[in-house]
């Protein structure tokens, strides 16, 4: 299984440094989640790890090789990325979209194969999108559309999947639905999954490894129960909170302080 890591990685947009001299090793066969405040570089780092952004200095390594020196099709066979809010061409069906995931395996000598067909069917089944195969992507609900895009990344057959905020714009039900699919893929096939998530509680529930970013580098990383503390939330998000144990999963649960309506429980006074 390919190892994904960064060595002294520096990223920028113009003259603005976003990530500075960052060293990071992604745990193989685990779910890693990047967290941090808006603008801290989560999505930028993910883009660089997918070779969508060229480093200013340092490198992203895929199994020890600099990713920017590898052929595009070779990378696409080893690593898939689902960007934030992707847009499908007008008139594309779910089946046609998912088939795009097999593009890296096509050439003038090898056209559509039995393996391609098998991988597309697997992806549709895994995401429960087979009943929608002939529907237009534009006609789907937000959750269905996101599942269709995930199916396309699965059809690539890569061992590593990168996802930039895969739950954005989804309601609570569809957020859980999408994350459950990714969790099952990791559990059943040991896929390495790297995600950017904004919801701390969902990050804690689904991640094996959390990377908290601040000031152009890593503030903390490790298991959710070691990383997500009141001190970390205050430092990274500039927010006071209380961390308790999730009553269902035993993972950290963040309760933010704020000025919302407070309901106080009244204790009965025994006479």
135-168 pLDDT tens trace: 999 999 888 898 899 899 999 999 999 999 998 8
d(CA 234, CA 194): 24
Which domains does the chain carry? Answer: 1-78+158-271 (3.40.50.300), 92-156 (no CATH)
- Across the range 48-74, mean pLDDT stands at 93
pLDDT tens figures, 216-225: 999 999 999 9
DSSP β-bridge partners for residue 81: 162
**167 burial class (0-12, 13-18, 19+ CB within 10 angstroms)?**
buried
Q: Is the pLDDT of residue 270 over 70?
A: no
- What is the C-alpha to C-alpha distance for residues 32 and 37, in angstroms, rounded to an integer? 17
DSSP one-letter string for 191-243: -EEEEE-S-HHHHHHH-SEEEEEETTEEEEEE-HHHH--HHHHHHHH---EEE
Could you report how far apart the first and last alpha carbons of the chain are, in Å?
Answer: 68
Q: Is the pLDDT of residue 188 over 50?
A: yes
Helix or strand (DSSP H, E) at 253: strand 252-256
**Segment (H or E) for 4:** strand 4-13
Given a contact cutoff of 8 angstroms between Cβ atoms, the answer to whether 55 and 10 are in contact is yes
Q: Which H or E run contains 237?
A: helix 230-237
**pLDDT recorded at residue 271:** 47
Average pLDDT for residues 172-190, to the nearest whole number? 91
Give SS3 for 1: coil
Angle at 128 between CA 126 and CA 129, to 5 degrees: 110
Residue 58's DSSP bridge partners are none
Q: What are phi and psi of 161, to 5 degrees?
A: -130, 125
Please state, in angstroms and rounded to a whole number, the distance separating the CA atoms of residues 69 and 75: 10
- What's the pLDDT tens digit per position in 225-255? 999 999 999 999 999 999 999 999 999 999 9
Distance of CA 153 to the CA centre of its chain: 12
């Amino acid at each position: 299984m390919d190892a994904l890591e960064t060595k002294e990685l520096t990223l920028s947009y113009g003259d603005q440094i976003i990530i500075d001299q960052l060293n990071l090793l992604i745990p193989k066969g685990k779910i890693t989640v990047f967290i941090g405040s808006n603008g801290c570089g989560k999505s930028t780092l993910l883009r660089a790890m997918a070779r969508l952004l060229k480093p200013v200095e340092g490198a992203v390594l895929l199994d020890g090789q600099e990713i920017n020196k590898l052929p595009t099709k070779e990378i696409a066979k080893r690593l898939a990325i689902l960007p934030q809010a992707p847009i499908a061409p007008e008139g594309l069906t779910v089946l046609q979209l998912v088939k795009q995931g097999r593009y890296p395996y096509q050439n003038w000598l090898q056209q559509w194969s039995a393996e391609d067909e098998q991988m597309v069917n697997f992806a549709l089944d895994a995401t429960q999108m087979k009943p929608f195969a002939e529907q237009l992507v534009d006609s789907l609900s937000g959750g269905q559309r996101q599942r269709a895009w995930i199916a396309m990344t699965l059809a690539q057959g890569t061992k590593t999947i990168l996802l930039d905020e895969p739950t954005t714009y989804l309601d609570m039900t569809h957020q859980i639905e999408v994350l459950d699919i990714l969790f099952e893929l990791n559990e059943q096939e040991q896929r390495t999954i790297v995600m950017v998530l904004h919801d701390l509680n969902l990050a804690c529930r689904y991640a094996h490894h959390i990377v908290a970013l601040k000031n152009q580098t890593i503030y903390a990383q490790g298991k959710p129960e070691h990383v997500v503390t009141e001190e970390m939330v205050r430092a990274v998000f500039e927010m006071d909170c209380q961390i308790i144990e999730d009553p269902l999963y035993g993972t950290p649960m963040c309760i933010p302080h704020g000025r919302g309506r407070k309901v106080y429980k009244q204790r009965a006074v025994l006479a």
